[in-house]
Amino acid sequence: MLGIVPYQGQPGTLEQWQSHASTPQKPPSTMWEWYRQIKTLEGGKPESTLQAGVSVVRHNAESAALAALLGFIQGEFGSLDIRGVPLDGIGALLLNALAIKNAGEPDGFSSDLRALGQTCTSIYLFRTVERWRSAKKVIDTNGESMNIHTAPKSAKPKESLRSNIPKDPIVEAGRRAGL
């Protein structure tokens, strides 16, 4: 007989295949069983809990080392922006690009590169959002702009600067009541 030979242990005739395919499969009872089922279908052996734990520890250690390095650079140079170039942003681009390029290689370390790229992305976005929010929290005193968090107490606006804001009757009643 020429043609496709089914795997051992599987139904051999077309009728057997059809009846096997139409047999309802028991759905997985937990998310973990579903994940293991999908991994088995992909042809890979499912990861054990110990392997997953070791992987978590390794990725966190790599991430901590990279964050410490970036923190050291910022402490040394005062910023992660060297000549206007964000080192953490460039690191994120390079590491994520290498993770994509290295994907699918049997002895590759794509997941490590991806984790490091995520660390750089997180640090870059943290700095960007913090800078943006700090710029939004600016007050104007006599034509000078300053951040309300870093301004000295003497430069912070007095009640007289807020005199053009209408008074809230509920707040005024609370003040009169001593609250």
Q: Structural domain boundaries of the chain?
A: 63-68+85-138+146-152
Q: Please, are residues 10 and 4 in contact by the beta-carbon 8 Å criterion?
A: no
pLDDT in tens, 18-70: 665 555 666 667 777 777 777 666 566 666 788 888 888 988 999 999 999 99
This prediction's pTM? 0.52
Q: Which ranges constitute the DSSP H helices of the chain?
A: 14-22, 31-41, 49-77, 87-102, 110-136, 169-176
> pLDDT averaged over the chain?
76
Q: Which residue has the higher pLDDT, 119 or 162?
A: 119
Residue with structure tokens 């912070």? 156
Question: Which residues are within 8 A (CB) of 98 and not within 5 positions of it... i.e. 6 or more apart?
Answer: 113, 117
Torsion over CA: 114, 117, 123, 127 (sign)? negative
More reliable by pLDDT, 161 or 154:
154
pLDDT at 118: 93
Other CB atoms within 10 Å distance of the CB of residue 74: 16
Q: How confident is the model at residue 149 (pLDDT cuts 50, 70, 90)?
A: low
Cα-Cα-Cα-Cα torsion 48, 53, 56, 60, nearest 10 degrees, comes to -160
* 175 has pLDDT over 60: yes
Report how far residue 96's alpha carbon sits from residue 115's, in angstroms, rounded to the nearest whole number: 9
Q: What whole-number distance in Å separates Cα of residue 117 and Cα of residue 65?
A: 13
CA distances from 137 to 11, 45, 146, 149 (A): 70, 52, 9, 8
* Pick from 93, 75, 76: nearest CA to 85: 93
CA 112/CA 117 separation, integer angstroms:
9
